[in-house]
Amino acid sequence: MKKNLFLLTLIMLGCYALKSQNPVNMPILTSVDGGTFMMGNNAGTNDEKPEHKVTLNSFFLGKYEVTNAEFKKFVDATGYKTDAEQPDSVNKKHGLPPRGINNGTWKMYMNNVPVPAADSNKPVANISWHDAVAYCNWLSQATGKKFRLPTEAEWEYAAKGGAKSKGYKYVGGNNLNEVAWYVENSDKRSHTIGKKMPNELDIYDMAGNIREWCSDWYSDTYYKTSPEDNPAGPDRGSNRVVRGGSWGSEEGRMRISYRNNEFPYNSALGFGFRVAISGEPVIKKVTPAIDKNLLEDLDSKGFIDIYGINFDINKAIVKAESYPIIEQITTYLKDHPQMKVVIEGHTDNTGSDELNMKLSDKRAASIKAELVKRGIDTSRMETKGYGASKPVADNKTAAGRTQNRRVTIKKQ
């Protein structure tokens, strides 16, 4: 298992690339060991009943919801037009009910306000089931791997923490504000992925932020006849399953077992998705042969310099594109539970010693905050800002600033 998680971490770092002019990075995936669990909720709504036993094979699920930036790569590569960008007359022609109220597209908020570049790491929204499947099909063709939407059973099993479940009321905890963006704390909008606490499997945002399409047709009576082994939903239907609640959902709709459904061509500001892959052998075929974690030599050397972590210094946070490096640090510290470290921040020379120290302090603190969110105890980490490193002749920008935006991890 550790070997598989380690290899997946390398995938997260973007080490895998296709043999094409426009490489497609593999999504960040989490291994979900198969097992048996009780699906549904006898205390819930009628379509959540009866609670029943389900056994699933192992699979991999996206650690995060698909983002605007990731979906844009698909659109740029294919010229794809989402259902929200198509005329509703297509549905009327086939005798289908119209889509829901047009509240924008994946690249255009309501009132024709463009989705800004600053929102690139928010989950893509206004996505229909058709759009989500089209993305999975493109990703499959681009990578040679069989990406798909998770089944409803896989979604609920992973949301409950799989084989590591602690029986929480919500996905990842009993305090909804700590684990989810919903109507009481979201400010009526989605948020950058991975900012709330993960669940037992280190998966983020399965509660709130964006509702997520599943592969299944929906039936309100399916649980009465569902097979025990790897159920995949009814053979036919009119609506598809949507799970997880969104930034606009009330607390009552945030329980793990709550079910929702929509016409597959409907889209809304709260509809998005995450990807899945079946089975361990598929992953093994794509794993690059890289030999070590970034911190593998920490124990012997006593310190490791890490470059390439991007920060939003004004907000004192690590940018989402650098989460793969954070995941590597997290994995290493979890594998070495007795180790305590000092996180040292460094920065470019701004010309002001006071500002240099402030920026480097923020870098170190940002790293610690992300590690705490991922389950590393705060008592294991100290932070220290070192300001700007000494100038290095061959390491300067055109403006003459030294490029030493590094983080140093030291053993205590």
Q: Are 323 and 357 within one domain?
A: yes
Q: Are 98 and 170 within one domain?
A: yes
Give the pLDDT of residue 340. 92
- Determine the average pLDDT of the residues in 215-243: 94
pLDDT at residue 96 above 70? Answer: no
Q: Which residue has the higher pLDDT, 367 or 403?
A: 367
Q: Are 334 and 396 within one domain?
A: yes
Domain range spanning residue 303?
298-411
Q: How close are the terminal C-alpha atoms of the chain, in Å?
A: 29
CATH number for the domain spanning 340: value is 3.30.1330.60
Q: Are 349 and 252 within one domain?
A: no
Q: Are 329 and 400 within one domain?
A: yes
Helices (H), 152-269: 152-159, 176-179
Asked which of 66-80, 115-129, 243-257, 288-302 is least confident by mean pLDDT, the reply is 288-302
Count the domains in the chain: 2
User: Is 57 among the domain residues?
Assistant: yes
The Cα angle at residue 158 between residues 156 and 164, in degrees rounded to 5: 125
pLDDT single digits (tens) 112-157? 788 998 899 999 999 999 999 999 999 999 988 999 999 999 999 9
User: Is 293 among the domain residues?
Assistant: no
CA distances from 205 to 28, 255, 282 (A): 14, 13, 25
Mean pLDDT score of the chain, rounded to an integer?
A: 82
Q: Are 184 and 326 within one domain?
A: no
Q: Are 272 and 314 within one domain?
A: no
Q: Are 27 and 167 within one domain?
A: yes
Q: Are 265 and 330 within one domain?
A: no
User: Is 288 among the domain residues?
Assistant: no
- Determine the average pLDDT of the residues in 264-290: 67
* Beta strand ranges found along 328-367 (DSSP E): 341-347
Q: Are 381 and 247 within one domain?
A: no
List the one residue out of 190, 155, 160 whose CA is nearest residue 172: 160
